[in-house]
Structure 1
């Protein structure tokens, strides 16, 4: 998106923005039920403001403080308090990111494009006495991420993701028949624990703001559905599970299942470190002192194997 310009005999490319702006939004229904989101927002603007770099002229710059105030109070509009009241409907992180990006490219003449990144904290409604609490929430684990790239022409790139999805299974995993040389110490095993912390990104196929689904909270529901497909593929059926011959194979099956399940997703990228659980071995020169049978392990996360790959449809531009 960034455009290169030739200035004073050099190639020049610039952008500016605001990072780590935190905002919480509460919606209250007439029935007394509350909904809450907490977002960490970052904005990057591409604009025609070369003069602010080359000389004493800031007349084309949107101040980063303005970006912060727009995020926190205006839901994509500058008139702070009045426009905040207009955000009466619950928004997904994706919809909020698109609103903000669309605001900057439409409101400011010099801005040609905007990138809005959001990380959503996982506040989950608590259950008390078997019932969902009206206004009580607890902090979950994995985080919902999104990035919206909007250009003045109306073109859109929308990416969602998950950070910190920690999953583990105590059996149905192995690793055998890999390359061996004089430095190889790892034995073959068809029985091991498998643990990882999934970082996932998926790009939607919508290329303009006008082609987006109009269903409220569509992307929030899609996030939950993608997370379920990833986890279900990792674990397999509740009785017996599914065997994993490697983290690589499991990663591929998770990405493939996502593309097969959701036709409006064009691209999936997964990063899955192999967090090792090492069988404990207590022995002396005469042999094992205690015999363990796949029941006691030493958890380690450093160093760990790093496995990542992406999968996209043949027609995808990525």
Structure 2
């Protein structure tokens, strides 16, 4: 309370960009590039009410701590592991800080392949973004989630949309044959509730990220020869989420957001010539605005999310 008002406050540093290179790991260099946000929940109310800055952790100190902790990681560490390391440091090092929240987005540098062999020190920029959000309280309580952004998926067939609500404003025809494309944004929350519950090596969050991405893509596409029919983006989203939870018992919940990026079959016509050119499921107009938006969270019954 301050002067009869309730105040919720925190402070930190955003968009701290840091890159770490580990040399000669399994025959080649390894690089990561992270964009780090840190927020501290701390007892520094006098800074707001009376200009007393004695309890504020300077955001310059927060930024420099990110660099120092990256340097101290002599062994390869996952993005989630680094976020836990930072949050644990800030929540324990400063007496006035009750909790620290760390968000990181990883730039997707991928090793290049030259003449069929992985290059020892050459990388190219990929597309899918790996994300994490970690909160550690002074008592060690933990909230940990990982995610993916910009996972672009497309099928040229094996998709339809029928039986939906029709009213006086509906123009969309029903179909059992259409293209379907989306850019998946997903986050999944781990069941670990205390830093002591986080498995040590050989558990690897980076590999888990790759595995979850593969499960979602495999469920979307189906087998390489026959595929799998999608009656709606909603159904496909549910099957993707369910496949992840069925595979990994330590994931408590998963959220997916899947915009329906339209590919509209083209037909050229005019008033004088209504059948100028008819395309037979081969020429389309890509449309990403406006687009349908479908999202849902699938949780285990005991999940708090």
TM-score interval for Structure 1 and Structure 2 normalised by the shorter chain: over 0.9
Deviations 1:237-288 (A, max 9, x none): 1111000000011001101111001110000000000000000011233432
Match of 2:191 among 205, 219, 227: 205
- Segment of structure 1 superposing worse, 214-223 or 28-37: 28-37
1:278 equivalent to 2:271? Answer no
Instruction: Kindly report which structure 2 residues correspond to 1:102-141, keeping only aligned pairs within 5 A, or say none.
Output: 102-141=88-127
1:37 equivalent to 2:24? Answer no
Match of 1:230 among 208, 211, 216: 216
Deviations 1:199-226 (A, max 9, x none): 0000000111111111246100100000
Kept in 2, the 8 Å contact 1:90–1:217? The answer is no
1:158 equivalent to 2:144? Answer yes
Q: CA RMSD in A?
A: 1.1
Give the Cα–Cα distance (whole angstroms) in 2 for the partners of residues 63 and 182 of structure 1: 59
Q: Secondary structure at the match of 2:235?
A: helix
Name the counterpart of 2:9.
Answer: 14
Match of 2:175 among 184, 189, 194: 189
Give the Cα–Cα distance (whole angstroms) in 2 for the partners of residues 147 and 44 of structure 1: 11
Give the Cα–Cα distance (whole angstroms) in 2 for the partners of residues 205 and 48 of structure 1: 29
Give the Cα–Cα distance (whole angstroms) in 2 for the partners of residues 157 and 189 of structure 1: 43
- Closer, same or farther: CA 238–32 of 1 in aligned 2, 3 Å: closer
Give the Cα–Cα distance (whole angstroms) in 2 for the partners of residues 108 and 253 of structure 1: 45
Name the counterpart of 2:239.
Answer: 253
- Closer, same or farther: CA 303–30 of 1 in aligned 2, 3 Å: closer
What is the TM-score with the length of structure 2 in the denominator? 0.97
Name the counterpart of 2:135.
Answer: 149
Deviation for aligned residue 1:74: 2.5
- Closer, same or farther: CA 37–217 of 1 in aligned 2, 3 Å: farther
Kept in 1, the 8 Å contact 2:109–2:125? The answer is yes
Q: Secondary structure at the match of 1:96?
A: helix
- Closer, same or farther: CA 252–110 of 1 in aligned 2, 3 Å: same
Stretches of 4+ moved more than 3 A in 1? Answer: none
Name the counterpart of 2:67.
Answer: 72
Name the counterpart of 2:20.
Answer: 25
Gaps of 5+ in 2: none
| Count of paired positions | 304
Q: Secondary structure at the match of 2:290?
A: coil
Gaps of 5+ in 1: 1-5, 76-83
More strand per residue: 2
